[in-house]
Structure 1
Amino acid sequence: MIATGLATGTTADPDIAARAVAQAMSRLAVTHANSVLLFLSDAFARDPQPALLAASRQSQCIQIVGCSAAGIFTEQDWVLDTPAAAAMIFSGDLSLTTAHSPELDDLVLALTAPNAINRGWINAPGRRFGGVAGNATGHGLFKVWNNGKINPNNRCELYIQGASGEIGVSHGIRALTAPTVVTASNGFDVISLGRQAALNLLARELPLEVRELDHIPLHLIMAAEVFGDPDTALAEGRYRLIPVIATNPDDRSVTLASRLAEGSMMFWALRQPLAAERSMRVTLDRTEQILGHRPDFAIVASSSGRGPSFYGGEDKDLQVITRLYPDMPMIGFYGNGEIGWLNNANQLLEYSTVFGLFHYDV
């Protein structure tokens, strides 16, 4: 009931979208689809409507849903910096429908463009997963569509009808310290942790190979805000990553991308490919156990900072999925912020991979 297609070209030709759809439909041997989840590369971002029309004609379906993104992928391959389309066809008893008024426990696929991120929308009812359809800088003419048309609000939320699903969040970090209470902060600056200077604690716990560098690689250092019981937060993935903006030798504080209140719990972490790959395996296994079934298909939103460039030219997150679930249909995109359900709340995440694993309701 589910299949994917992936097509590329040299220019943003609408036929690329039609070919991706046709490839997926041929795998299912169907003449029409109930719904199409369509991700287009950023080459289509300025005017995706012709590609949406081509996908609609090919699928004989008006429910074309998706977004443009810096990169896209299926279980077949990933594509960056090339005009491309990835399509997932829903047929039989499966479909995508607009979620107008989600209930608290509803599983919702949430997509948004960078200029439409809204904290109230992210925190609205429903267990949400998805991402921000932007590039690594958070800029660009990225768009979101639903019902075969560009959504003027540049965001949408959807039910996956005919399947049960669970959300997984893989942060992909190596913890450098145990969770510690923030004992002093000022705006975006964390001044002390457990009454130790924040920078002193960070510098002392950096691995030797990092300390020997001329400069601390701030793009790899993260603060991790803990939710719930700190003793089990790391093992259960109950934390969100916050980028480090600057270190301040004068007062030994560290400036973060968002505020941490005094009394909150956090730990220092290092973004590391081996840890990320291991995190992906563990998170997939845990999510499958919660689902209670071997998944039939997956939808993935991955950070642009977590894809092939992070792994040295290959996306090992995708390799983990395809090794665990050979031939399972999967579709996703690389964005600039991931939306995931953590500690009974929707969170806007950084440098993470968020996915939904789904099992047919039959």
Structure 2
Amino acid sequence: MQLFPFGHATHPQWQMAAGLVLAQLRAQMTLPTYAAHPTLALVYITDHYAASAQDILDHLGAELPTVTDWSGTVGIGIASSNVEYFDEPALAVMLCALPSDQYRVFSGVAPLPATFRPYTALVHADGSTPELGELVAEMADRTVTGYLFGGLAASRGDVVQFAVGGNGNLRGHGKAGGVFRGGLSGVAFGEGVQIVSRVTQGCQPVAPERRITAADGNLVTELDGEPALDVLLEDLQLTLEQPQAAVAALRQTLVGLTEPSDDVASTPVSRSGHFGEDVIVRHIIGLDPRRRGVAIAQNVEEGMKLAFCRRNVEAARADLVRICAEIREEVEPEELPLAAATALAAADALAAPTPERAIAGAVYVSCSGRGGPHFGGPSAELQIVRRALGDVPLVGFFANGEIARSHLYGYTGVLTVFR
């Protein structure tokens, strides 16, 4: 598979940014290592451009007439290889060269046809959609592997999604023109599109894991048979007699939740001290001194495991490097032809991408609460990805929630590569 052309740019006028992106795409499409005739485009814009979403899509479609399928959304920030655009007008596009019978773009007005059997799916969603968690789980059930990747659109203005399918569904789009609001949209992939995906958590446990032994909706009343509030204060070494200090500490504290398991040996925390992919991180939203309970931003049930945690920069950095290393180990061949191995050995890890690296392109969806500032500076998170994964084509966005498998996450990064 050839490399996917990609481009990114920032400019106060979207027309100028689009021109810069198109110039990058066209230049790469003339190179022998990049795909010359891609048909699927992934488009991400910052919310500065949200009001012009339809004009942007129309312009890109006219300039790239051979690209028949479009998918994407809006973020507070967007990402590309080695760069993040936060709180500024920006656009990123990646053109994917995939067999036309191995993917379908879908949306609320153009659902997946019954004849197409998806194995995985890239999903964009509006966080205000009712029963969103159930819709995501239902979409995951429709795939053979149960694996979704993507995130919730993030915008201070119009929350838009792009979805145009060139496989006969255009008539079904009605007057929408390919720009949508609400619900789910994205791209479903067939068995022939091979991906490798990993989730990195941005938090580290600061106390032992507990089992929820009593709960009422989103209020945890008992942990390991003890009043939940008492356990929280003990684990964090806090006292309500010093309310200011307690409130300050609680604002930095979250909870990592894991679904009930029959495996008594199972644990949400890895040997390295990081949360695993089964853990969903949620806010503490209140305390109930009368019932000695802790309210969190998620309905819970008895049997679930809970660990108090905090966002930790060093843990997030190490875990991001770990998932990149796992992906490289899985996709790169153990044995390369002599010429390819010699070339890779002689080149820097950040040299121009080559087909031998076996990654055609990547999509990275990270929490809008992460990004460069959380990792120490502008574009720091994507610079970590580039150093660890190599200089591969990449686009993505910073979301209001991340999607992986059938779950909605927070404070995570979801990195997916096309083999």
Category of TM-score, reference length = shorter chain? 0.7 to 0.9
Q: Deviations over 1:292-327 (max 9, x none)?
A: 755512101111112234234334432221001221
Matched letter for residue 114 of structure 1? G
2:314 matched to 1:278? no
Gapped runs of 5+ residues in structure 1?
Answer: none
User: In structure 2, what is the Cα distance between the partners aligned to 1:283 and 1:357?
Assistant: 12
User: In structure 2, what is the Cα distance between the partners aligned to 1:59 and 1:286?
Assistant: 35
- Which residue in 2 is equivalent to 1:134? 154
User: In structure 2, what is the Cα distance between the partners aligned to 1:90 and 1:190?
Assistant: 46
SS class of match (2:372): coil
User: In structure 1, what is the Cα distance between the partners aligned to 2:414 and 2:97?
Assistant: 24
User: In structure 2, what is the Cα distance between the partners aligned to 1:22 and 1:130?
Assistant: 27
Q: Deviations over 1:268-307 (max 9, x none)?
A: 1111111111121222333445557555121011111122
Matched letter for residue 306 of structure 1? R
Q: Is the 8 A contact 1:18 1:58 kept in 2?
A: no
- Which residue in 2 is equivalent to 1:83? 89
- Which residue in 1 is equivalent to 2:353? none
- Which residue in 2 is equivalent to 1:234? 269
Q: Deviations over 1:126-145 (max 9, x none)?
A: 2111000124xxx6311001
- Which residue in 2 is equivalent to 1:22? 23
Q: Is the 8 A contact 1:71 1:81 kept in 2?
A: yes
Q: Is the 8 A contact 1:55 1:64 kept in 2?
A: no
2:148 matched to 1:146? no
2:184 matched to 1:155? yes
User: In structure 1, what is the Cα distance between the partners aligned to 2:189 and 2:302?
Assistant: 40
Map 1:1-362 to 2 at 5 A: 1-11=3-13, 13-29=14-30, 33-60=38-65, 61-91=67-97, 97-98=104-105, 100=112, 106-116=119-129, 118-124=132-138, 125-126=142-143, 127-135=147-155, 140-147=157-164, 149-151=178-180, 154-160=183-189, 163-206=193-236, 213=245, 215-227=247-259, 228=261, 229=263, 231-235=266-270, 236-289=276-329, 296=359, 297-341=361-405, 346-359=406-419
SS class of match (2:390): coil
Matched letter for residue 325 of structure 1? L
User: In structure 2, what is the Cα distance between the partners aligned to 1:116 and 1:47?
Assistant: 22
Q: Deviations over 1:7-53 (max 9, x none)?
A: 11123x23423421331231231775412111011012123111111
Matched letter for residue 269 of structure 2? L
Q: Is the 8 A contact 1:6 1:87 kept in 2?
A: yes
After TM superposition, the structure 1 stretch with the greater mean CA deviation from structure 2, 223-232 or 48-57, is 223-232
User: In structure 2, what is the Cα distance between the partners aligned to 1:338 and 1:132?
Assistant: 6
Kindly, what percent of the aligned residue pairs are identical?
22
Q: Is the 8 A contact 1:25 1:89 kept in 2?
A: no
Cα gap change, 1:183 to 1:31, in 2 (>3 Å): closer
Q: Is the 8 A contact 1:14 1:50 kept in 2?
A: no
Q: Is the 8 A contact 1:114 1:142 kept in 2?
A: no
Give me the TM-score of the superposition, normalised by structure 2: 0.75
Report which of the two structures shows the higher radius of gyration computed on alpha carbons: 2
SS class of match (1:234): coil
Q: Is the 8 A contact 2:123 2:149 kept in 1?
A: yes
Q: Is the 8 A contact 1:5 1:87 kept in 2?
A: yes
Q: Deviations over 1:227-255 (max 9, x none)?
A: 44463432243211121112344543211
Cα gap change, 1:275 to 1:324, in 2 (>3 Å): same
Cα gap change, 1:91 to 1:166, in 2 (>3 Å): closer
After TM superposition, the structure 1 stretch with the greater mean CA deviation from structure 2, 281-290 or 328-337, is 281-290
Q: CA deviation at 1:93?
A: 5.2
Q: Deviations over 1:136-167 (max 9, x none)?
A: xxx63110011171136553131357641022
Q: Is the 8 A contact 2:254 2:281 kept in 1?
A: yes
User: What RMSD over aligned residues (CA atoms) do the two structures have, in Å?
Assistant: 2.9
Cα gap change, 1:204 to 1:322, in 2 (>3 Å): same
Q: Deviations over 1:203-228 (max 9, x none)?
A: 333389xx994633444311111144
Higher strand share: 1
Q: Is the 8 A contact 2:281 2:410 kept in 1?
A: yes
SS class of match (1:305): coil
User: In structure 2, what is the Cα distance between the partners aligned to 1:154 and 1:104?
Assistant: 21
After TM superposition, the structure 1 stretch with the greater mean CA deviation from structure 2, 275-284 or 305-314, is 305-314
Give me the TM-score of the superposition, normalised by structure 1: 0.86
